[in-house]
Structure 1
Amino acid sequence: MTKITEELNQPLLIDGAMSTALEQLGADTNNPLWTASVLDKQPNLVKQVHQEYFKVGARLAITDTYQANVPAFVANGYSERQAHALIKRAVQLARDARDEYQQATGVYNYIAGAVGPYGAYLADGSEYTGDYQRSEAEFKEFHRPRLMDILSVGVDVIAIETQPRLDEVIAVLKLAKELAPTTPCYVSFSLKNHATLADGTPLAVAAATVDQYDNVFAIGANCIPLERVAPAVTVIRRATDKPIIAYPNSSAVYDPQTKTWAYPHGHRSLASYLPQWLSAGVTIVGGCCTTTPADIALLHEKLTERSEREGTAND
């Protein structure tokens, strides 16, 4: 494993959404490539988003490669060569932002290479349903080019995220072990409810299964409603002793037709839920779709206050 695992004796803060932050900067992500489309025309904005998250306290940045894959780029008019270049650019932008932050502050932050599910490539919301079927070989064939590009530039960890299907996760873990046996991975599932993956697999079974892979250093869930985090973490904790990762959305609801989010319960604060998440066992925490640097800043503030209280109590 890498240095990141040595820091998990206390909560580690991830960044928030790439999409929402890009949109706040004026980028148009309402297209089949989603945030990956910005890598071509406005790459400086992607770097700026990473920089903003580092400035508010994020220690782990997720690359803009969730929906960046070769078939998707080719389907949208790019050549395979251009597709590979854009995937590599996404990783380099995150690394550049990290390195510049380290030069300015002396703090070394981490880069997670995002591997979104096959369902994200379909661009129809399938990452929230798992309503697709592929063989292990087909999953590996789909994910291999992107993962090779990510690894060629270099990341601290591999983020196998928003995963609705256990069989796809197993295929990606085997591929990661083949391509980068010493690079740690985290697995973050997409859930139907607090106890079930989007495809119907019991969360307890999924967590116990990926727990057996020695290249997995953390297990959790992302892009789920705020109120679902604590009960889901409780289920995961029963199945593994590994660190648990959670980065929910703002309890928003996604419309795959318009590619927009609605807020049936209004905007909710991630920071207000943080105490119950930490009590349930979350070690790595941040935000997903609809969250912003402002959300991560509040989480950082709460984590800092908690650390200071614990430090005072131990004096």
Structure 2
Amino acid sequence: MKNPVRPFLDYQNVFILDGGLATELEARRHNLDDPLWSAKLLLEQPDAIRQVHSDYLWAGADCIISASYQASLPGLLARGLSEAKAADLIRLAMQLAIQARDQFWAIMANRRGRLRPLVAASVGPYGAYLADGSEYTGVYDLDEVGLLAWHRPRWEILAQSGADLLACETIPSLAEAKALRQLLLETPKMPAWMSFACQDGTRISDGTSLADCVQLLNDVPNLIAVGINCTPPRYLPALITAVQNHTTKQIIVYPNSGEQYDSVSKTWLGQSDPSEFGTISREWRKMGALLVGGCCRTRPAHIQQIRDRTRPLIS
């Protein structure tokens, strides 16, 4: 299995991910107050998703992540879709990202300074389907066996969707990491990364040591990177160190903007400065995290700031 990220690291010593998909859709006044979250627009306004993908590519992303994070078969069946229609909608999430990438590359292919971007299929956690906040606690009503059975149908669709790699993201629990590890071993030709949601500088959301999670994954050949997402930037230095001390795999980080959500007022507190985000992203890279992007509350401007601080290593 070839590592699809390797050419980017050889060329520019960084692999730049996109930013928050739902964040940007909400900024464009799309109402995502729905159990399907951003996947709601797969049903209603798919062109809006494709446009956001495109805008992240023009901002400088080397990889865009599909809108399948919260598009699960059970969630779509609950919306009234047949199993076949639900599977088609998950495939549509990938098709929109691939179309955006191909349209971008048709324009950029003859220009210097960029490599053909990749498309990652988002594999969101079980808690995203529940839409009850458990993706940030890891407190589930399913054990490892149940999680394996829940993930497998969507995994099989996404692994055959044309994605360049799979993005197992915002994983909050050790049991879910174990379930996804098994699926990775069952699809050895499909490269992937796994990133965890963390509650502090050492532990993922369910309280398990991040170091323990990383060590669990070291023997998975097609897992090309492991790291952190959907976590405040202030925890990243300690978390990057924890990952680096326990693996030789590439380290991936795409944190939130640093703003904090007030569940009482249902508003975000604090400020997000794209320039500052770009500046601190250089520190993450210096520590060894070479796959870098943004998660909730980050937008194309944040990704542009990371790109602006990147220069190709070769001509």
Identity of aligned residues (%): 36
Match of 1:12 in 2: 15
Match of 1:44 in 2: 47
Q: Note the alpha carbon deviations across 1:159-183, whole angstroms, 9 max, x for none.
A: 11000012211211211332x3211
**TM-score (norm. length: structure 1):** 0.91
Q: Note the alpha carbon deviations across 1:200-254, whole angstroms, 9 max, x for none.
A: 1111111111122112110100011111112210111001111100001111234
Asked whether 1:267 is paired with 2:275, we answer no
Distance in 1 between residues matched to 2:235 and 2:162, nearest whole Å: 33
183-192 or 124-133: bigger deviation: 124-133
* Residues matched between the structures, number: 305
The partner residue of 1:140 within 145, 148, 153 is 148
Asked whether 1:296 is paired with 2:299, we answer no
Question: How many Å apart are 1:127 and its aligned residue?
Answer: 1.1
Asked whether 1:155 is paired with 2:163, we answer yes
Match of 2:230 in 1: 223
The partner residue of 2:30 within 3, 8, 27 is 27
**TM-score (norm. length: structure 2):** 0.91
Structure 1 counterpart of 2:82, one-letter code = S
Match of 1:119 in 2: 127
Question: How many Å apart are 1:185 and its aligned residue?
Answer: 1.2
Question: How many Å apart are 1:256 and its aligned residue?
Answer: 6.5
Structure 2 counterpart of 1:303, one-letter code = T
Structure 1 counterpart of 2:99, one-letter code = D
Question: How many Å apart are 1:2 and its aligned residue?
Answer: 3.5
Structure 1 counterpart of 2:89, one-letter code = L
Question: How many Å apart are 1:118 and its aligned residue?
Answer: 0.6
Question: How many Å apart are 1:36 and its aligned residue?
Answer: 0.4
Q: Note the alpha carbon deviations across 1:54-99, whole angstroms, 9 max, x for none.
A: 1111001111011110111122232222211110000000011111
Structure 1 counterpart of 2:130, one-letter code = L
* Contiguous gaps of at least 5 residues in structure 2: 110-114
Match of 1:3 in 2: 4
Is the contact between residue 5 and residue 15 of structure 2 (CA under 8 Å) also seen in structure 1?
no
Question: How many Å apart are 1:133 and its aligned residue?
Answer: 4.0
Q: Note the alpha carbon deviations across 1:243-271, whole angstroms, 9 max, x for none.
A: 1000011112346688x5512x3224311
Asked whether 1:91 is paired with 2:94, we answer yes
77-86 or 248-257: bigger deviation: 248-257
Distance in 1 between residues matched to 2:185 and 2:51, nearest whole Å: 32
Q: Could you say if the C-alpha distance between residues 261 and 205 of structure 1 is closer, same or farther in structure 2, counting changes exceeding 3 Å?
A: farther
Is the contact between residue 224 and residue 250 of structure 2 (CA under 8 Å) also seen in structure 1?
yes
Question: How many Å apart are 1:32 and its aligned residue?
Answer: 0.7
* Contiguous gaps of at least 5 residues in structure 1: none
Question: How many Å apart are 1:4 and its aligned residue?
Answer: 2.1
The partner residue of 1:192 within 177, 181, 199 is 199
Higher helix proportion, which one?
1
Question: How many Å apart are 1:49 and its aligned residue?
Answer: 0.6
Is the contact between residue 2 and residue 156 of structure 1 (CA under 8 Å) also seen in structure 2?
no
Distance in 2 between residues matched to 1:279 and 1:152, nearest whole Å: 35
